[in-house]
Structure 1
């Protein structure tokens, strides 16, 4: 995965200081790690958004004045409830020779033969899987092959993924990623047809009941 560079600066702490940062289009953040002292920092909001999008959850190189660059992963991200931009972020500094665990996106590829039936729809059950690897081996994503979905009973599970060398998938092998279901329109049509069709046993009972009333 491509390594991205993000510049940051030390910041003051406190609610008032954080408000001033946000008003100035900067995002308060914290960087911490196993072998470093936690630091309160800030970074440009726009640049941060680009870095998060392009890194896809992978490595970012964080540059702080007067310090060696840090290799970091984005951890806790707080977003504005309506504007959705980042309001605060935690960065976890990693050593390139130490294993890390993180969530990696799963993307689909190919065409599912079962979807040739217009009444069938693809259902995504999970967006990510947990992996373990060295920071330099973090994949941008893992690929699920939709051609495995040949019937409505087929599923794509974690065991169907092919991880690159050096990457271990930790999510259980039987965990479902993609499945197939009848479309809502097909289900509604089936429900309507079921409601319209009279039950033979019920009709027979009603008819017998009327006949018995007439004889009485």
Structure 2
């Protein structure tokens, strides 16, 4: 299915111009790569966000620049540090006949043994970078954590041979780990640093003669 995003060329300008465009609901972006010189453009922020949310960031988008369509993937986004909204996007034009490098999300399947025993599953690396034909980009890479006990980890080296794509991550990248449960010592509840109850006593005043 073609995912078409409408874009308009924009003239490079000062930061104030970009701020004004964002207030108008536009997303400043640039398209570069295969058969394309760097082209500054603007897209509709809501429509772009809706398409990315529905189809995934690793999808191939057809960017329609005033009638000319370019196949592209999202290469980089810049976000507002306070609001988390996207301030700028880089789209990489691609050759549909050649392999590309693309980051796809990791999808955890199964329930780890260690989690059933009270451990906590964490995912230090949530994306893997693979080399693949544009038409064969998967929605996600499934990683089975069923056999992980408390204290166990699953690295790229452990799953590389089971993934049917060329994975570019380092072997030591950790995809999942099960940490021990946090133990709260109830005996120290309500006590000060020295182990005594944290109660402030007030001495009764001496009686006046």
Same fold (TM over 0.5): yes
Name the residue aligned to 1:100.
100
Name the residue aligned to 2:131.
132
**Deviation string for 1:53-106 (max 9, x for gaps)?**
233222111111131x21111122112222222111111100101211122111
- Where structure 1 has 5 or more consecutive residues not aligned to the other structure, the ranges are 193-216
Name the residue aligned to 1:42.
42
1:170 to 168, 171, 186: 168
**Deviation string for 1:124-171 (max 9, x for gaps)?**
22111111111111111101112121x22432222326434xx21121
Distance change in 2, residues 1:52/1:108 (3 Å)? same
SS of 1:51's equivalent? helix
SS of 1:148's equivalent? coil
Q: How does 1:110-129 map to 2 (within 5 A)?
A: 110-118=110-118, 120-129=119-128
Tell me if the contact between 1:6 and 1:62 (Cα under 8 Å) persists in the aligned partners. yes
Q: Give the Cα–Cα distance (whole angstroms) in 2 for the partners of residues 123 and 40 of structure 1.
A: 39
Tell me if the contact between 2:100 and 2:133 (Cα under 8 Å) persists in the aligned partners. yes
Q: Give the Cα–Cα distance (whole angstroms) in 2 for the partners of residues 21 and 82 of structure 1.
A: 18
SS of 1:147's equivalent? coil
CA shift at 1:3, angstroms?
Answer: 4.6
Q: Give the Cα–Cα distance (whole angstroms) in 2 for the partners of residues 3 and 171 of structure 1.
A: 29
| 4+ aligned runs moved over 6 Å, structure 1 | none
Name the residue aligned to 2:152.
154
CA shift at 1:22, angstroms?
Answer: 1.3
SS of 1:54's equivalent? helix
CA shift at 1:29, angstroms?
Answer: 0.8
Tell me if the contact between 1:51 and 1:60 (Cα under 8 Å) persists in the aligned partners. no
Tell me if the contact between 1:10 and 1:40 (Cα under 8 Å) persists in the aligned partners. yes
The range that moved more, 121-130 or 89-98, is 121-130
Tell me if the contact between 2:113 and 2:150 (Cα under 8 Å) persists in the aligned partners. no
CA shift at 1:174, angstroms?
Answer: 4.3
Name the residue aligned to 1:60.
61
Q: Give the Cα–Cα distance (whole angstroms) in 1 for the partners of residues 172 and 45 of structure 2.
A: 39
1:180 to 178, 201, 209: 178
Q: TM-score, normalised by structure 1?
A: 0.77
- Where structure 2 has 5 or more consecutive residues not aligned to the other structure, the ranges are 189-209
Q: Give the Cα–Cα distance (whole angstroms) in 1 for the partners of residues 22 and 115 of structure 2.
A: 47
